[in-house]
Each structure stands twice: as C-alpha cells, then as structure tokens.
Amino acid sequence: MIRVFPILLVVVYGLIMYRFSAWRTARELDARSTELVDPALKGVIDRLAKALDLPRIKVFIYEIDPVNGLAAPDGRIFVTRGFYNKFRAGEVSADELGSVIAHELGHVALGHSRRRMIDFSGQNALRTVLAMVLGRFIPFAGMWIANFLTTLLAARLSRSDEYEADAYAAALLTKAGIGVAPQISLFKKLEALTQSNAGTAPAWLLSHPKTEERITALQKLQKRWVTKT
C-alpha cells in the first residue's frame, strides 16, 4: 500500500521550493531590469493597453543576451535585451515585438504562473508515487522511468500553456487592430533569432510546441474568426 505521508511531504516541499524559486527570480529581475521606454514601441503597447481597458502596460527589459520574453510570477512583463536589440537592428518589427508582449500578457491573464506552482507540486508527488510503485517491480530503472514520465507530463502541460497564451495574444492583437500577421511572421523567424535547434527534437520532449504547429493553430483561429464575421 502506498504511504500517504511521503507524498504529502513531497507536495509541501514542492510548494516551498516553487515559492523560493519565485522569490529568487523576482530578486534577479529587480537587479537586472529597467522599464522599457521607447517611442517606437509606445504606440503598439498603448494599443494593447487600450484593448485591455488599461491606462498603460509596463514592460521591462531584462539585461541578458538570449532572445526571449517572460512573464514573472508577480505579473510583470519582460523582454530580454537580446530581443530588444533585434528590434533596434530592424530584425524584428514593433508589431512583432508587440506580439511577444501580448503572449506574455496571456500567461499572466490565464494564471499560468499559479498553475505551474500546482503542477510542479503535483509532478513531484506523481514522481514519488511512480518511483515507489515501479521500484518494487524494476528496482534499478524504476526511478529513471518515473523521472522520464513526469518530464513528459511537464512538457505537455507547458506546451498547453503556450498554445493558450498564443490564442490569447491572437485575440488581443486582433482587438487592438494589429492582427495575427505579426505573430505568425515572428514565429517564422524565431528559430533563427534564438539559434534554436528545436525543430530536430521530438515534439513530446519540448516545453514549447513546434513553430509550424503554433503557426497552424493561429491560422485556424484566424480562419474561424473571419468565417464568423
């Protein structure tokens, strides 16, 4: 019979570790970020704010080189210095960078940070249960299998969050009068911008959906909205 106490202990440990990670991330972002102030981007950001009935949207630059955007656990929106530099160099348009901001706003609005805390604790509990059960039948490989299965689950949940944030961004960009086109065009150049080789990795191991699948999902949404109008 599976003992409950070790599982509860793992869940509590997961919650504590997630809280600590969120605190450490906030400190890192506070120390290495400043508010983004750029007249060339203000128009796009203001249109997103108006579509959300907000007086303004604060966006911050995170001073690291990799090309990325992120939504902090406290709800703040960041683009990296590397991404901003791509915009300044003309490799990314204002609307395309706006689509990144809209995507991160989706993560915040849909509560993905809070959900990830629950998912993280649940995955730790599942890993413990699987390791206990499988360890009885496969003593040496049981832990490895448990880790592998929970990794697959985490990747799938993360991909689901990304699809949801993509759809939110598409709706917001459409409402703001910008449309889905910049979102799609950015995806088409994203692997080159990030120097990613994700296209060769198995889809079920990725934390983000493959680029072509994200584009297809957006095109389906766009077609559905056009049909309804």
Return d(Cα 207, Cα 215) in angstroms, integer.
Answer: 16
At 1 the pLDDT is 45
Neighbours of 156 (CB within 10 A): 13
| Tokens 């598409």 sit on residue | 170
* The pLDDT value given to residue 201: 47
Contact 169, 99 (CB under 8 A): yes
pLDDT (0 to 100) of residue 53: 97
pLDDT value for 144: 66
> DSSP states of the chain as a string?
---HHHHHHHHHHHHHHHHHHHHHHHHHHHHTEEE---HHHHHHHHHHHHHTT-S---EEEE--SS--EEE-TTS-EEEEHHHHHHHHTTSS-HHHHHHHHHHHHHHHHTTHHHHHHHHHHHHHHHHHHHHHHHHHHSTTTHHHHHHHHHHHHHHHHHHHHHHHHHHHHHHHHHHTT--SHHHHHHHHHHHHHHT--GGGS-GGG-SS--HHHHHHHHHHHHHHHHHH-
Residue 77 identity (one-letter amino acid)? I
pLDDT at position 225? 84
Per-residue pLDDT tens, the chain, 229 aa: give them.
456 666 566 556 666 666 777 778 788 888 999 999 999 999 999 999 999 999 999 999 999 999 999 998 888 999 999 999 999 999 999 999 999 999 999 999 998 876 666 566 556 666 666 666 666 667 777 666 667 666 766 777 778 899 999 999 999 999 999 999 999 999 999 888 887 655 444 444 456 788 899 999 999 998 888 776 5
* pTM of this structure: 0.77
Give the per-residue pLDDT at 209. Answer: 84
**pLDDT at site 131:** 65
Per-residue pLDDT, 11: 59
The pLDDT of residue 81 is 96
Neighbours of 148 (CB within 10 A): 14
